[in-house]
Chains A and B, each alone.
Chain A
Amino acid sequence: MSGNLLFQLLLNGLIVGTLYGVVAMCFVLIYKSTQVVNFAQGEFLLIGAWTCWWLVVDAGLPFWFSFPLTFLFMMVFGIALQMVVLRPLIGEPIISVIMVTIGLSIFFQAITKWIFGADVQPFPEIFPVKSVDVFGLSVQPAYLMSLVVSILVMGGFAWFFKYSRMGLAMRATAFNQQVAQSLGISVKNVFAMAWAISAMVSALAGVVVGMVNGVSGALSFFGIKVFPAVIVGGLDSIIGAIVGGLIIGLLENFAEYVDGQWLHLGNLYTVAPFYVLIIILMIKPYGLFGTHKIERV
């Protein structure tokens, strides 16, 4: 029984971990190409999920139509955000940039709470079956979908950065902005694109989580959980973000198992990643895959 529970929790961890990985990837994308630490990443999930929920429930559109519509909205939203708020702050000290994303974060949290209320709103059933059996364990179909979607997104990212013109331009910008600009890459567009892609993919994760747990302000906590993931993986490594997300997802569920079986401390589940974060920062601040050039004293 206990072994089965552990297995179930680890499977959960794997699925949640891939979601963390996807959100962390979006975070790293913004950091790598624009040097902005986005504390409002969780709010992208929140806004995406609420938009999709509103389109499905209040506007009565079918899911397959409102899902792409959400994407379109998030793209415009990401670009607008970059142009209006982040662009004036290019070249400002790091605290200003951090604070402006924090300001955005609490602003959007408050606004969504105002518009949609503080209660959890369930997503209407999209899938006909309640749960699917995988190796004798019951898994919600939305979770399975999230796993498939996450893997697809990761594959898409790999293709995008390796072969597409825009992706190559983004990598060049991340490597060196001045050189990229002198090669004729519009750094402005790259910045806007980075925010747009990040917002869109985060919204995807938000919709998936919303389908499983219902949509509520709690979604923005994903944006906080992203920090342990990116620090473990390395702040400027996309692969690191995915691995870090998986590690944090597994660790969380493992911590819950240990807590439930032996320690009985309470919410070890939520704080364990932060202890790990501090330890990693102390011993290996560049993470598993990050470049070793970060400033240390």
Chain B
Amino acid sequence: MITSSLIPCGQFKTSYAKDTTIFDTPVMRAWAVVGVLALIAAPMILNNYYLSLLIQIGFMGIAALGLNILVGYTGQISLGHAGFFGFGAFASAWLNNSFGVPVVLAMPLAAVMTTFLGLLFGIPAGRLKGLYLAIATFASQFILEDFFARADWFSGGSSGAAANPVNLFGYDLSGDKGFFYVVLFWVVVMFLIGTNLLRSRDGRAFIAVRDHYLSAEVMGINLTKYRILSFGLSSFYAGLGGALYGHYLGFVSAEGFTILMSIEFLGMIIIGGLGSVAGTLMGTTFMVLLPEVMEGGVGIAKTLVGGNVGWLAEGLASIKQASIGLAIILFLIFEPDGLVHRWRLIRSYWKFYPFSY
């Protein structure tokens, strides 16, 4: 967690206000705005396949940002994020199906429900840290998985629950093109809230708890409060991401939210960069594209070898899973600060090319 200590060369900060700005330079802010505008225009150019990938990156990225607030900023390890993600998906479908709450409202409401669940499961976090917390959340993952399979009234049990498409002012937003804007809206909102929160007093308290919990306590930060708060906050993000996921697929199955998904979320933030909002998006993009790249790679291998490559095609699911594990291991060994660190290095290299440093 050494990230964000590296400042690109040629930048000097002379006031606290400058130190806490989201974008270091006006050019970066302009690029961010251009990026969002480009995404708004994207559905006119891209076909449904690319749009579905972007949508996936969107809702996974929201949930991953929540996990990054918990793990990267507060230093609490959670192995049960997929459980909360799933709870959000089921809660939104349940609110819509059982009480007729419109989907647009059901999604944030489901996120609030997940927050309360997260606060409940965060109670051990008030007492435990590090390894013990990891094991406790590991257990909560299995308890939640079991709950989804069992609670017929809530999740439809083993048969799963149907989730209605998003409908706003009579416009049907169920297709990839329509849903893309729903996800984009929430991504922009949640990332803005996230970045602004992290430069507020509470955000600094999170970082203090992560960096040195004893000093933080001496400075008057209530450790238990902030640990549980961080859990609740990360669950809110997970719940919202899950709700988007549910309404995008139109069907929520109890089998989807396994420990493997929790590991993928952790993989996203580790590959992207712990304690970095931009890194979260990079890691999510990496993690969503990795299986697709693997699939493409297997396809290319098939045409190269030609004919008898049944063992390759059969192993596709295993190859995807193995590549996730391998990516996590390799990143931890060779680039523990994640993609965002690599990106900063590249940027500072080109800044004064060819005379950087």
Contacts and interface: CB of A to CB of B under 8 A. Distances in A.
B300 interface: no
B325 A99 contact: no
A35 to B, nearest CB: 9
B339 interface: no
Contacts of B138: 224, 227
A113 B270 CA distance: 26
Contacts of B202: none
B328 A102 contact: yes
B336 A96 contact: yes
A282 B321 CA distance: 34
A216 interface: no
B132 interface: yes
A124 to B, nearest CB: 25
**Prevailing SS type, chain B contact patch:** helix
A105 interface: yes
Nearest to A275: B143
Nearest to A85: B329
A227 B135 contact: yes
B99 to A, nearest CB: 26
A73 interface: no
Interface in B149-172: 149-150
Contact of B333 (A100, A106, A109): A100
Contacts of B319: 110, 114
Given A85-B333, A114-B319, A278-B140, A100 B328 contact: yes
Contact of B136 (A93, A113, A277): A277
Interface in A81-100: 85, 88-89, 92-96, 98-100
A200 B209 CA distance: 40
Interface string B92-131: 0000000000000000000000000000000110111111
A267 interface: yes
A94 B322 contact: no
Given A95-B77, A99-B270, A114-B315, A281 B124 contact: yes
Contacts of B345: none
A282 B127 contact: yes
A297 interface: yes
A229 to B, nearest CB: 11
A72 interface: no
Residue from A108, A265, A270, A271 with most neighbouring chain B CB atoms (10 Å): A271
B322 A227 contact: no
A55 interface: no
A102 B321 contact: no
Interface in A230-278: 231, 235, 265-267, 270-271, 274-275, 277-278
Interface string A17-54: 00000000000000000000100000000000000000
Contacts of A110: 317-322, 325
Contacts of B315: 114
Contacts of B142: 224, 270-271, 274
Nearest to A268: B146
Contact of A98 (B134, B324, B325): B134
Contacts of B318: 110-111, 113-114
Contacts of A277: 135-136, 139
B146 A297 contact: no
20 contacts: A88-B333, A99-B328, A100-B328, A100-B329, A103-B263, A103-B267, A103-B327, A103-B328, A104-B329, A106-B325, A107-B329, A108-B325, A110-B325, A113-B321, A271-B142, A274-B143, A281-B124, A281-B127, A282-B123, A296-B128
Interface of B: 1, 71, 77, 79, 123-124, 126-132, 134-136, 138-140, 142-143, 146, 149-150, 213, 223-224, 227, 260, 263, 266-267, 270, 274, 314-315, 317-322, 324-329, 332-333, 336
Given A107-B321, A267-B149, A282-B123, 4 more contacts: A92-B332, A104-B329, A110-B322, A285-B128
Rank and list the top 6 A-B pairs by shortest CB-CB distance, nearest first. Answer: A107-B325, A114-B318, A103-B328, A110-B321, A110-B322, A274-B139
